[in-house]
Amino acid sequence: MNRLIIDRWSDVTGLIEAHRETQDRMEELIETVGDRLGRWARAHDYQIETEAKWAEFKAAKSSWIDRRKGPRVQLVVGGFCPHGYKKMDADHPFLWLYIEKLTNFKCKEPDLIAFSQGLRKALGAEARSWESPDVDDTEQPLGRYLTTITDVDRAQLMATEDALFEFATGQFPTLFALSEIIDAELGQIQR
Q: How confident is the model at residue 16 (pLDDT cuts 50, 70, 90)?
A: confident
- Indicate the residue type of 39: R
Q: pLDDT tens digits for 26-68?
A: 999 999 999 999 999 999 999 999 999 999 999 999 999 999 9
Beta bridge partners of 51: 56
pLDDT of residue 191: 56
- Residues 181 and 119: beta-carbon distance below 8 Å: yes
- For the chain, the domains span 2-189
- Residues 50 and 62: beta-carbon distance below 8 Å: no
pLDDT of residue 87: 80
- Residues 60 and 49: beta-carbon distance below 8 Å: yes
- Residues 175 and 95: beta-carbon distance below 8 Å: yes
Neighbours of 139 (CB within 10 A): 17
- Residues 12 and 1: beta-carbon distance below 8 Å: no
d(CA 146, CA 165): 16
Mean predicted lDDT score pLDDT of the chain: 93
pLDDT of residue 22: 75
SS3 of residue 97 by DSSP:
strand
DSSP state of 141: -
Residue (of 79, 22, 82, 26) closest to 55 by Cα position: 79
Phi–psi pair at 181, nearest 5 degrees: -65, -40
pLDDT of residue 75: 98
Phi–psi pair at 98, nearest 5 degrees: -100, 130
- Indicate the residue type of 33: V
What is the pTM for the complete model shown?
A: 0.91
pLDDT of residue 14: 78
